[in-house]
Structure 1
Amino acid sequence: MRAKKLPLEFSEQVCMDFLALFIEALMPVLEILLVTAVGLVLGMERINLLGAISRQSLNSLVFFVFSPSLIVSDLADTITLDSLGTLWFMLVNVLITFLIGSALAWILVKITRAPQHLQSPIIGCCAAGNLGNLLLIILPAVCEEDDSPFADSSVCSTDAEAYAVLSMAIGAIYIWCYVYPIMRIYANKATNDTGTHGATTRDNISGENSYLHSEIGTEPLLPSEGCPSSEECMDQVEFHFTGSERKAKIFGFLIGIVSPIRKVLIGDDAPLRAIYNSASLLGEPTIPSMTLIIGANLLRGLQGAGVRPALIVGIIAIRYIIMPSLGIIIVKAANHFGIVGSDALYQFTLMLQYALPPAMNIGTISQLLETGESECSVIMLWTYAVATFSLTIWSTIFMWLVS
């Protein structure tokens, strides 16, 4: 039998709906692009408003003041015992993105026979997505659009920030507990094979290289004094980073989960609401500051060394074709078996975690391990340039699937 043709009106309506979703997805990506471009311009030598010293100061503010305030205020406002019961799958979902990305990266390395000094950043770029500031921009922006497919804009924006902050917290933990050790193993192997293992120390790091740029801002490296070896310095940096982040996250979870503390700090009638409101106010500069830093850091990619086109194409294919496709299958399967609830925004967030560009602190780790630093900047430049288009397309598809 011949298949029935769809009515012309139905086809036109589908196209119009998809176009509307495309415009909704395009707006937040354009916002990211514009602010990133401003950061890139400000980082140029002729302007130098975001040069090495300025970035160091802004990075310190973001890491020690803005970002912890944002994490505490958003987690405390939305994360409760009930919500933790429904959001636990995000912990698993982010881990899956890291596992799939690293496995695909290993295959890419074998197929392309990538040089050993590039294997560490390749695995890092494929495994770790930018689960922090990009979601902090995209999710609330989508909610605020007039034709948003999600819930009421105020409720949606509150949930969106909570999902983004939780994603950022989980991603930071996995990067330092999973990706960093893997990159360190490959970096040590490359160093040993070139016969320069132990020949360099961190005592000569200065200027911009003395700062550890992280996805949620940056963190200054610990002073080299008192570090007998490069490896011990890296251990101190890792401990300092994870310790500082852990305190902000634990404090935010405690405020949200412990009802007496929540009643004292959160709400119009809370006696200590000024503390919570102050934390919220300090958290507001986090997003623009981090995005400006990304733009300034990407400037190094324009001056970096060349990388084989096959490697760049392979990383782009992994991050923007294979992983988002697998993400749809995984999230839909989880929803089918009742693991993920019916919240469209939550499903959209889980899918979007598979389609993000590499985490900016992969470049930081490459710099810290002294392996493929300039090449990593080139990879970052190309992947973030392509992300402008891929994020828009995949965001449109994800919204269409969950709406």
Structure 2
Amino acid sequence: MVFWKLYVVAFSSILKLLLATALGAFLAQDRLNILKENARKHINAMVYFVFTPALIYSSMSNTITLKSVVMLWFMPLSILVTYIAGTVLGWLLIKAIRVPHHLHGLVLGCCAAGNLASLPLIVVPAICKEQNNPFGDEAVCNRNGLAYASLSMAVGYTYAWSITFNIVRIYSPKISNAVKVDESTVTPISAKGTDPENLLKCSDGALVMAEDIAKPNGGMDQPEIECKVVDGQAQVPVKLKIMKKLKILADKINNMKILIAPSTIAVIVGLTIGVVPQFRKLLVGDTALLHVVQDSVTMLGDASVPAMVLLLGANLVTGLKGFGKQLPLIVGIIVVKFIAMPAIGIAIVKGAVYFNLIHHDPLYQFVLLLQFALPPAIVMSTITQMFGTGESECSSIMLGTYSCATVLLTLWCTVFMWLVI
């Protein structure tokens, strides 16, 4: 009887998500012309740069303290385990059904990265608002649940843009082709009075791209750089060395921009304000001097979840094309995400509880378990679009996995609540 009561609670929560997702899919229809591709890009930018960071910041600054940080140390490790286990299972799936090489990164990413960005933020508060929820008072449950889900989102974003991003990049055919083109189009700089043999002795950096030579006047408008030869050894000019080092530094800064996402910055700021008592007294609470700033950010954060759900439904519409061709791959990923991964999660979380590695908070344990039963991360669609590989296959995978999530995620939420209470 308890199990079925919990199932009703979980089903009601997932049904809210399903209805909002269906509305997003309906608004994306051609005849309505509301959530078209261009509109989705603008809303997605608002969610990424404004709504989600505001939600993470407000949730963490309101609920996270130095004591809670110590208590939540296991969550980043648990999420890392989901990535490692998912990658291993994805590799086994690739070998089992012989996935084409250009889709290896997509499969590994979908198996490793779960939707830690929006689903915990939707499912956990929805369960807390149910009258018969097993986690106690609605206000306390909602406050703590948002804190857990916000930390989960921040860690998930960091791992997705550092681990999954590079996995897809490695298997991207465009990146491989670009490297080959770069290697085949370099030509040595002309050096006055030097033999070809001596020119080859110049260290790396004394090379120019063929595209520079193809410029007007053959690139002669650029200042000529000599590769001087001293005692038979060619030396690269200091100016060229400095230019090369500056280019390397610029590339590293661009890579850091990807890793330091707005949500990550929001986590850092939210943790700082929550942990440092002076900042907390200044911003958090009705009596705080700058509580209006905190309330304004909270108001912006409230728009994050509805916008994400509508975008999810709109993006799933594109997965209808070519769905049948990817059916074996979709079934394999469903088995990984909704059968194998939850079983691994139960073993890990229950083992951690047995050895007293995590505190005995049923809601915290539920969030840890939920992280192992989520469908692929929505960020996979963005990553595949960036590299231009597997876009249609990614949409089909998202459609199949999120359709099954309405039933399977409900079932797993019920099982998880039954295990932790």
TM-score (norm 1): 0.84
2:118 counterpart (119, 128, 133): 133
Residues 184-221 of structure 1, C-alpha deviations (whole Å, 9 max, x = no match): 1122499559x99999xxxxxxxxxxxxxxxxxxxxxx
Residues 289-339 of structure 1, C-alpha deviations (whole Å, 9 max, x = no match): 011011111111012465443221111000000000110010000000001
Match for 2:402: what amino acid? Y
Q: CA deviation at 1:241?
A: 6.0
1:108 maps to which residue? 93
Residues 222-257 of structure 1, C-alpha deviations (whole Å, 9 max, x = no match): xxxxxxxxxx99984772562433322211111101
Following the alignment from structure 1 to structure 2, what is the Cα–Cα distance between the partners of residues 198 and 309?
39
Following the alignment from structure 2 to structure 1, what is the Cα–Cα distance between the partners of residues 364 and 346?
13
Q: Given the alignment of the two structures, is residue 370 of structure 1 paired with residue 388 of structure 2, yes or no?
A: yes
Residues 39-89 of structure 1, C-alpha deviations (whole Å, 9 max, x = no match): 111111111211122112212221222111111100101111100111010
Q: CA deviation at 1:113?
A: 1.0
1:145 counterpart (86, 107, 130): 130
Following the alignment from structure 2 to structure 1, what is the Cα–Cα distance between the partners of residues 122 and 34?
23
Aligned runs of 1:282-321 on 2, under 5 Å?
Answer: 282-304=300-322, 306-321=324-339
1:186 maps to which residue? 171
Match for 1:61: what amino acid? M
Residue aligned with 1:147, SS = coil
Gaps of 5+ in 2: 185-249
Following the alignment from structure 2 to structure 1, what is the Cα–Cα distance between the partners of residues 393 and 252?
21
Aligned runs of 1:220-235 on 2, under 5 Å?
Answer: none
Residue aligned with 1:277, SS = helix
1:173 maps to which residue? 158
* 1:245–1:157 distance in 2 versus 1, CA, 3 Å: closer
1:402 maps to which residue? 420
2:265 maps to which residue? 247
Following the alignment from structure 2 to structure 1, what is the Cα–Cα distance between the partners of residues 36 and 164?
28
Match for 1:184: what amino acid? R
Structure 1 contact 307–375 (Cα < 8 Å) conserved: no
Structure 1 contact 128–359 (Cα < 8 Å) conserved: yes
1:30 maps to which residue? 15
Following the alignment from structure 1 to structure 2, what is the Cα–Cα distance between the partners of residues 254 and 234?
26
Q: CA deviation at 1:175?
A: 0.5
Q: Given the alignment of the two structures, is residue 275 of structure 1 paired with residue 260 of structure 2, yes or no?
A: no
Following the alignment from structure 2 to structure 1, what is the Cα–Cα distance between the partners of residues 167 and 262?
22
Higher-Rg structure is 2
Following the alignment from structure 1 to structure 2, what is the Cα–Cα distance between the partners of residues 75 and 305?
39
Residues 126-156 of structure 1, C-alpha deviations (whole Å, 9 max, x = no match): 0000001111110011111111111211100
Following the alignment from structure 1 to structure 2, what is the Cα–Cα distance between the partners of residues 323 and 99?
11
Residues 77-127 of structure 1, C-alpha deviations (whole Å, 9 max, x = no match): 111110011101000000000000011001110111111121111111100
* 1:185–1:271 distance in 2 versus 1, CA, 3 Å: same
CA RMSD of aligned residues (A): 2.4
Following the alignment from structure 1 to structure 2, what is the Cα–Cα distance between the partners of residues 245 and 379?
25
Following the alignment from structure 1 to structure 2, what is the Cα–Cα distance between the partners of residues 151 and 257?
26
Q: Given the alignment of the two structures, is residue 345 of structure 1 paired with residue 359 of structure 2, yes or no?
A: no
Following the alignment from structure 1 to structure 2, what is the Cα–Cα distance between the partners of residues 387 and 198?
46
Gaps of 5+ in 1: 1-15, 200-231
Q: Given the alignment of the two structures, is residue 51 of structure 1 paired with residue 36 of structure 2, yes or no?
A: yes
Following the alignment from structure 2 to structure 1, what is the Cα–Cα distance between the partners of residues 30 and 126?
32
Following the alignment from structure 1 to structure 2, what is the Cα–Cα distance between the partners of residues 304 and 238?
36
Structure 1 stretch 110-119 or stretch 86-95: which is displaced more? Answer: 110-119
Following the alignment from structure 1 to structure 2, what is the Cα–Cα distance between the partners of residues 266 and 19?
40
Match for 1:291: what amino acid? V
Following the alignment from structure 1 to structure 2, what is the Cα–Cα distance between the partners of residues 33 and 197?
47
Q: Given the alignment of the two structures, is residue 360 of structure 1 paired with residue 360 of structure 2, yes or no?
A: no
Following the alignment from structure 1 to structure 2, what is the Cα–Cα distance between the partners of residues 88 and 164?
14
Structure 1 contact 68–248 (Cα < 8 Å) conserved: yes
Structure 1 stretch 304-313 or stretch 131-140: which is displaced more? Answer: 304-313
Aligned runs of 1:190-209 on 2, under 5 Å?
Answer: 191-192=176-177
Match for 1:333: what amino acid? G
* 1:76–1:50 distance in 2 versus 1, CA, 3 Å: same
Aligned-pair identity (%): 46
2:105 maps to which residue? 120
Following the alignment from structure 1 to structure 2, what is the Cα–Cα distance between the partners of residues 140 and 395?
13
Structure 2 contact 24–314 (Cα < 8 Å) conserved: yes
* 1:276–1:198 distance in 2 versus 1, CA, 3 Å: farther
